[in-house]
Amino acid sequence: LRQQILAKDLEVRKLADDAAERHLASQRRVHALEQSVRAQMADGTTRVKELETSLRMLSNRSDLHQALAEVRQQVSESRVQAIHRDGELELVKKLLEDERGRAEHLRSRLV
């Protein structure tokens, strides 16, 4: 009877030791998974911050692109205006030369 009790006690201790080892192993696994989740959350937060930074940079570039497009448009308009002014100036020069020619012709007739 005593042998049976000792054998049963030994068997219960083995089961308790096995259960304790499995419990420690599961606790380690839970701890490792919690760390993994924290790391992934940190990576996600970092990724979001990187995307926000990229968005700000692209927005600034977009603003610069828009400003550049506006300046190009203004330059183009100025060129067109300069071409029109040059054409008008040539026309006025031609009219002035014609007037000078008429004035010279009238002077020659008066003298």
Can you tell me the mean pLDDT for 68-91? 89
pLDDT in tens, 9-59: 999 999 999 999 999 988 999 998 888 888 887 777 787 788 788 878 877
Which pLDDT score is estimated for 91? 92
pLDDT band at 109; cut points 50, 70, 90: confident
Is residue 97 over pLDDT 90? yes
Which pLDDT score is estimated for 62? 82
* Angstrom distance (rounded) from CA 21 to CA 30: 14
Average pLDDT, the chain: 87
Token pair belonging to 105: 């012709």
Residue 2 has phi, psi (to 5 degrees) of -65, -40
Under 8 Å CB-to-CB from 20, ≥6 apart: which residues?
none
pLDDT band at 63; cut points 50, 70, 90: confident
Q: What percent of the chain clears pLDDT 90, i.e. is strictly above it?
A: 26
